[in-house]
Amino acid sequence: MLDLLPAPITIFGHGRNAATYLINTHKVEAILGLQTLEEVVSVAEVGSEAQVPTFSLFDSVPEWALDRWPFLVQASPSQFAQMKAVVAILKSCEWHRFTFIYEDINSASTQVIPHLIEAIKESGVEMSTIVKLSSLSSSSSSSLLLEELERIKTEQCRVFLVHATLEMGIRLFQNAKNMGMMERGYVWITTTLFTDLLHTVNSSTFSMMEGIVGLGSFFLDTSLQFQDFSTKFQKKFKIEQPEEDNNMPGIFAAQAYDATWIVALALSEKNTSGQKLLERVPSMSLNGNGITGEVQFVDRKPAASHIFPIINVIGKYYRELGFWSEGHGFSEVINRTTNNTSLQSLGYIFWPGRPLHTPRGWDISTNVNPLRVGVPTMAMFKKFVEVIYDSDGNFTCTGYSVELFKEMVKQLPYYLPYEFIPFNGTYDQLVEKVYLKIFDAVVGDVSVVSRRYQYAEFTHPYTETGLVMVVPVASQHGQWLFVKPFTLGMWALTVMIHIYNGFVCYTASLTSMLTVRRLIPKVADFETLKNTNAIVGYGRGAHVVRYLEDVLHFKPSNIRSFKSPEEYARALRSGEIAAVFLEAPFTKLFLSKYCKSFMAAGPTFGDGGFAFALLNISESGTLRHMEQRMIGSEHCVDLESIHDDYESATSTVALAIYVIISLRNHYWIEGRSLVTIISDVHGNKMNDNSKY
């Protein structure tokens, strides 16, 4: 098919001078080539001045270049969609972080970064580090490469995405091999810039790259068109390059061949000039007969690629695992109708070191500073958080919040070192320390309130939120409750049967009423507290005081702070305060301990918040188990704390009545039984001796 190309197409060198020579001497009607941005810039200007269409095989021609030079055409499809395939691989293997390594070969090399950032957006994957490698032409490139490898080796991320030329890539993997970075636990993914030329690498070089997974550019290498092209290509290549062993055509030869045919078909029309050629190109198509598939131009660019082969380097060569295509996911054949998100569906993959399972993608870092976690020392309820010091000054952090944080760290897909740092101050000051970079995080019974969002972000609330008012209890019934069981029916029953049985239903009713005694709050709502100018309490150091003053409008002089739950209880019982305002999780803990003396009253006052994390712990049931184990074990200590006067009075009267009636019945029954027995034995003689 090469012999069918029209005469105006001439193979020549690149560059501004070459383009000028071709236009002036050979009177060419089109220029095809230009595989770097620098070549595009120099030749496109000459071509536009002479109104000769310039077809670039560089697949990343920027929009500004197309706008500046109207006779410039990008002949190779963009491969930027491969970044979506990269993210699909990372998500499938549950790698949440990766290091991006790219070669700074020209100004276009950085174009891949915005596409990569766009692909990872909202994916749950993030770039931990970006490494820029200087071109090999630089004298210091080798030493800089070693320095960068040494640096990333000490970090915990073990997943590396490489966007580099074949020459730089080989140098990179040689050094990585020598440094032990091609062993088990490491992951290397390469883009088309490197992978597309692997077919030119000799077998001895593959041994140092085993385990690499790469994305390549797609073309139909099994089609009849490619087989015909490949035969002619190899024959011509052997003649021109007899010393080369590998003469198989790759993606670049295939793209150049398809682009050449598009230009040839457009030039085959009569009276074709530069402007008419540009007008005809968008309508030209190989109708699926191109080696690279369907070739169709839109706005001086071919449609971008959305299918990428996935290869795996094994031993002395590489094999094709399958494909990733946009909208269809992973498959062993292209354009499957199902959206398969599992890379593992392509079969077993040989990772570096040949592990039995997919690498986890991270390892314990050797130089990462631990996370500085602030812990409050002024916590009221020690079951949530407590800092305990020993005689040597060492401290231990315990409590529900601390244990929950430790459980969250275990759930992370990477290693996170941390250290607890006690903090003795208010909770607002504690949160501000995160904003000031003194702490990286805070763990403790910190309330999620709106004003604190300007300093830090919060996780999902792991306990009930809101503010609850706690007040002493009062009984609903009076002192004369013990007479209520004496209904008319009971009096009738007592007369009809006998006094003893009547007294036994009475005691049952009284016991039941005393057992189910209803308790009511002494204060129904916070408005009553304000109207009566009552004193209320809160936990010292908490944000509650602002809420009481700014939202509920209590007078500052009527608000008192306390250090512990025991102080709350004493103040409530003594009448020093009429109510105490506690946050919802603390209220539950306080009332479980003082279950008979106090109760919650009025509504729960919300203070806002939004959810971020903790879903895995919550959904797995771990959160509920930890809550029951650590803060649900509080036992009531005041079971007998309420001894109202009416109880003792009622009990005394009931006991007296019971004793009197029991004694009278006892003597009456004993006497009656004796008389009956004597009468049965002696008959009428009993009447004669009744006086005894």
pLDDT tens-digit map of 446-461: 877 777 878 887 876 7
As a whole number of angstroms, the distance between CA 253 and CA 191 comes to 18
Taking the CA of residue 91 as centre, how many other CA atoms within 13 Å lie in the half-sphere pointing to its CB?
Answer: 18
Strand runs labelled E in 515-576: 519-521, 536-539, 559-562
Shared-domain flag, residues 31 and 127: no
Q: Which residue has the tokens 């503010």?
A: 467
Taking the CA of residue 115 as centre, how many other CA atoms within 13 Å lie in the half-sphere pointing to its CB?
Answer: 17
Shared-domain flag, residues 71 and 100: no
The pLDDT of residue 692: 36
For 425, list phi and psi in degrees, rounded to 5. -175, -175
The pLDDT of residue 267: 79
Model confidence, pTM: 0.60
- The listed range with the strongest mean pLDDT (170-184, 464-478, 539-553) is 170-184
Asked if residues 599 and 480 have their Cβ atoms less than 8 Å apart, the reply is: no
As a whole number of angstroms, the distance between CA 488 and CA 395 comes to 71
The pLDDT of residue 31: 86
The pLDDT of residue 270: 64
Shared-domain flag, residues 104 and 197: yes
Query: What is the arithmetic mean of pLDDT over 428-447?
Result: 89
Residue 324 forms part of a structural domain: yes
Residue 383 forms part of a structural domain: yes
Residue 392 forms part of a structural domain: yes
Shared-domain flag, residues 314 and 339: yes
Helix (H, G, I), strand (E, B) or coil at 96: coil
Residue that finishes a domain, picked among 419, 454, 489? 454
For residue 334, pLDDT beyond 70: yes
Residue that finishes a domain, picked among 274, 300, 326? 300
Shared-domain flag, residues 389 and 440: yes
The pLDDT of residue 445: 83
Specify the amino acid at residue 85.
A
Res. 638 pLDDT band, cuts 50 70 90: low
Shared-domain flag, residues 207 and 257: no
- Domain span at 228: 2-75+224-300
Shared-domain flag, residues 398 and 281: no
Measure CA 428 to chain center. Answer: 26
Shared-domain flag, residues 231 and 375: no
The pLDDT of residue 652: 52
The total of structural domains in the chain comes to 3
Element (H, E) at 587: helix 584-593
Query: What is the arithmetic mean of pLDDT over 26-36?
Result: 83
| CATH code assigned at 426 | 3.40.190.10
| CATH code assigned at 60 | 3.40.50.2300
Least confident of 429-433, 537-541, 664-668: 664-668
Shared-domain flag, residues 143 and 211: yes
Separation in Å, CA 83 to CA 199, 207, 274? 22, 27, 36
Residue 528 forms part of a structural domain: no
| pLDDT tens-digit map of 512-535 | 555 545 567 788 778 888 888 999
Residue 561 forms part of a structural domain: no
Residue that finishes a domain, picked among 300, 322, 355? 300
As a whole number of angstroms, the distance between CA 580 and CA 587 comes to 10
Q: Which residue has the tokens 């990286």?
A: 440
Strand 307-314 relative to strand 371-376, pairing = unpaired
Shared-domain flag, residues 177 and 137: yes
The pLDDT of residue 203: 82
Shared-domain flag, residues 255 and 387: no
Beta-bridge partner residues of 560 = 537
Asked if residues 560 and 535 have their Cβ atoms less than 8 Å apart, the reply is: yes
Shared-domain flag, residues 205 and 315: yes
| pLDDT tens-digit map of 105-154 | 765 567 888 889 999 988 889 998 999 988 766 666 788 889 999 999 98
| pLDDT tens-digit map of 489-517 | 666 666 677 665 556 676 666 555 555 45
Least confident of 24-28, 326-330, 334-338, 426-430: 334-338
Residue 680 forms part of a structural domain: no
pLDDT higher for 641 or 380? 380
Query: What is the arithmetic mean of pLDDT over 642-649?
Result: 47
Q: What is the mean pLDDT of the chain?
A: 79
For CA atoms 32, 35, 39, 40, give the dihedral sign: positive
Q: What percent of the chain has pLDDT over 70?
A: 74
Strand 126-134 relative to strand 97-104, pairing = parallel
What Rg, from alpha-carbon coordinates, does the chain have? 44
Residue 149 forms part of a structural domain: yes
Query: What is the arithmetic mean of pLDDT over 296-316?
Result: 86
For residue 395, pLDDT beyond 90: yes
Residue 602 forms part of a structural domain: no
For residue 676, pLDDT beyond 60: no
